[in-house]
Amino acid sequence: MTPRIDLHTHSTASDGTTPPDVLVRQARAAGLDVVALTDHDTTGGWAAAAEALPAGLSLVRGAEISCVRGGISLHLLAYLFDPDEPALATALQELRGSRVGRAETMARMLEADGTGVTWERVQELAGGTVGRPHLAAALVEQGHVASIADAFTPDWIGEHGRYWVAKTELDVLDAIRLVRGAGGVSIFAHPAASSRGRTVGVDVIADMAAAGLAGLEVDHVDHEKSARAAL
């Protein structure tokens, strides 16, 4: 029987909605044999996921790293790396610090415009690492938008929108080298997800491969059928 595997999940350790311990139990209940925990720029959910790991489910420890190349944001899935390797650990810490600072700035901007959104409430909704989805949840709570997705528009917190603030990102080639240096494996996350914004060309992917990229994520909800076939 072919194993059922999901190598890209997020928990409340970053911008997910499910605690790590619950996530692994739900993964097994859904019939998965292997699940990777890949929270944004953090390994903070690893311990709770490992401790709650049900019988029959294997856990792959990972993270999704915020990167950039040529002015285009992209994400790098990193697996099986040493979380205590100094260079990578420092880089992830700096990314997390930037993420929190960015979220606070955006929350203060919303608060200043009388939306009812407060930084304190956004932190409560997050529980862990704060991200834009938690700002979106606060906007839903205040009745400004009907759904999380509706907040990711130019009027609100969409890229380059009214309340959008740029985030710190690692050059993707540097990130690949850092992951390799920590004994890990890198995969380019949702490389053809044009609905998320601009995507990089094959020349950048070739440079990533030369730096040590191990593969591309193909089966992703934001990939059209034609894109999956091309990848």
Return the DSSP state at 28: H
For Cα atoms 9, 14, 16, give the angle at the middle one, nearest 5 degrees. Answer: 50
- Residue 179's contacts (CB-CB under 8 Å, 6 or more residues apart) are 65, 76, 78, 81, 88, 185, 186, 212
> Taking every pair of C-alpha atoms in the chain, what is the biggest distance, in angstroms?
56
pLDDT of residue 219: 84
- pTM value is 0.87
The one-letter amino acid code at 112 reads: A
Mean pLDDT calculated for residue range 52-77: 96
Please report which helix (H) or strand (E) contains residue 208, including its range.
helix 202-211
Is residue 227's pLDDT more than 80?
no
CB 40 within 8 A of CB 63: yes
Please tell me the least confidently modeled range out of 1-5, 20-24, 73-77, 127-131: 127-131
pLDDT at 146: 97
Q: Please state whether 35 falls in left (phi above 0), alpha (psi between -120 and 50) or beta.
A: beta
In the predicted structure, residue 17 carries a pLDDT above the cut 90: no
Scan for tokens 């859904």, then name that residue: 30
Helix (H, G, I), strand (E, B) or coil at 78: strand
Residue 34, number of CB atoms within 10 A of its CB? 14
Helical residues (DSSP H) of 61-145, grouped into ranges? 86-112, 119-126, 132-141
Assigned token pair, 113 = 């415009």
Angle between helices 202-211 and 172-181 (to 10 degrees): 20
**Nearest by Cα to 23 from 5, 49, 3, 50:** 49
pLDDT in tens, 20-58: 999 999 999 999 999 999 999 999 999 999 999 999 999
pLDDT recorded at residue 49 = 98
The answer to whether the beta carbons of residues 15 and 134 sit under 8 Å apart is yes
